[in-house]
A and B are shown apart, each in its own frame.
Chain A
Amino acid sequence: MIELREAGVTVPAGEHDAVILQPTTLTLTEHRISIIGGNGSGKSTLARLCNGLIEPTTGSVMVSAGSGDGSHPGDNTPRDGDTHDNRTHAGETSRADAPLDTTRHGAAARRLVGFVFSDPSAQLIMPTVLEDVALSLRREHPKKADRLEAARAVLERFGIADLADRSVHTLSGGQRQLLAFASVLAADPAILVADEPTTLLDLRNARMIDDLLLSLPQQVLVITHDLELAARADRTLVIDDARVVFDGQPTEATAFYRELAARGAGA
């Protein structure tokens, strides 16, 4: 669950402060949430607020593993070395899902909320596929042999085990983005935020990533320009001019956004 409490972002710019995001209050509990809006509207800032990559200049952002509606097994934070094997269902756990303030507990918030960028080449850190996944597992598996074995299992799960020893540079765009997802999900976050994950991909790869996003046990928050993907969510936010201008049904939201764009073009 992600909770914004009057969270806003302004940056000093000359005499006046530039408002990147107006103070916003939101409680995001739905399993699949999409965010749409124009370039520079503040979508990416909203996404980055969710895992403390950007800290709010006013208000606060709280994240917690519990979903509130019990629709996903959101108790599997990697905080104390959970593995994929002992994940339990939300209803069965008594573990405290205390909300974390992203400003005060940035590190813990980032472990709870995985983040995938639109350009995977900046996101992939290590030279080979297996090493990049293993890097996410260094906290869970201090021993290298265990770590590599776990990384192989992750690649297996994503169907890219055959790429394990390939150099990251030799991968296709779709493979790279899939690897970026695998590396982030290897750390087993409770929530996944993806910032335009399919923008650089061809149609087939974009659909492959869409299907992956919608099949994850994690709560997913996806920013996209692909209205087809946006409409497959449970709830959609439309951002315009640094504020949430529509919040509700995906089909209504995309209709609202189309109208907004048409009006903007006419003006």
Chain B
Amino acid sequence: MTSSPLGEYITRRSPLHRLRPGAKLLGLFLFGALMVAFRSVPVGIVALVIGVALALLSGMRAKDLLRVGRRFAIVGVLLFAFQAWQRGWEHGFAVVATLFALLLAASALTASTAADELIDTIVWLLGPLRRFGVRPEQIALAFSLTIRSIPIVLAQARETRDAAKARGLERSPRAYLIPFVLRVVAHAQLTGEALQARGFGDD
């Protein structure tokens, strides 16, 4: 069982599930914009509290939060070190805290919004661009494929690493990277074929 860094849709009824996806997207956007515009230590703390609250509200449990945290840890530590070195620890904390809060809020969005709803919203948002030749349905499909590909690619990475290990090649980046890339490309081709078979690209 693999899951994406953002987590997956949680089928449960929560106040966040009842909100319209457009409202959630707008909320996430405003939240992000405000956090960046007023970045400071207190704002970072408030952001973290809001992020955790949203995540819990969406039905994520403590262990889901920990999982998001663990995945973010490496990036977070490096980012903090760099920012603290460049501009002081306060700034480092503010940057890392707001980023993590945003990640939690985004996780709350994916946990409480079915991909289908999200895609409908994207189609609706891009509707006015139709007259310029934009095909919102195709962009929406690209979004959903990207979201769905994350766990698949993670699973393939693990399988390839296991295969390299089984042959005693865990120290060789070549024995891992080349088959991994080939697998991902092969999967992309299969997916393309399946899309074509199901009538995509025709209409």
A110-B151 in contact (CB<8A): no
Find residues 115-166 in chain A having any chain B CB closer than 8 Å to their own CB: 115, 117, 119, 121-123, 125-128, 131, 134-136, 139, 144, 165-166
Q: Specify the main secondary structure of chain B where it touches its partner.
A: helix
**How near does chain A come to B120, taking the closest CB pair, in angstroms?**
6
Question: B196 an interface residue at 8 Å Cβ cutoff?
Answer: yes
Question: A173 an interface residue at 8 Å Cβ cutoff?
Answer: no
Which stretch of B45-53, B100-108, B173-181, B185-193 is in the interface? B185-193
B195: A residues at CB distance < 8 A: 125
A53-B197 in contact (CB<8A): yes
In this complex, how many residues of chain A approach chain B with their Cβ under 8 Å: the count is 32
**How near does chain B come to A114, taking the closest CB pair, in angstroms?**
8
A183-B114 in contact (CB<8A): no
B194: A residues at CB distance < 8 A: 117, 122-123, 125
- The complex places the Cα of A183 from the Cα of B40 at a distance, in Å, of 50
Question: A187 an interface residue at 8 Å Cβ cutoff?
Answer: yes
- The complex places the Cα of A170 from the Cα of B195 at a distance, in Å, of 21
Interface residues on B, range: 20 to 34
Return the CB mask of B71-106 against A: 1 if under 8 Å, else 0.
Answer: 000000000000000000000000000000000000
**How near does chain B come to A62, taking the closest CB pair, in angstroms?**
18
| Residue from B1, B114, B198, B202 within 8 A of A106 (CB atoms) | B202
B115-A53 in contact (CB<8A): no
A126-B199 in contact (CB<8A): no
**How near does chain B come to A7, taking the closest CB pair, in angstroms?**
18
Pairs of residues from A and B, 3 with the lowest C-beta to C-beta distance, nearest first:
A107-B202, A122-B190, A115-B197
Chain B residues engaging chain A, CB cutoff 8 angstroms: 1-2, 8-9, 11, 114-116, 120, 144-145, 147-148, 151-152, 187, 190-191, 193-199, 202-203
Chain A residues engaging chain B, CB cutoff 8 angstroms: 51, 53, 106-107, 110-111, 114-115, 117, 119, 121-123, 125-128, 131, 134-136, 139, 144, 165-170, 183-184, 187
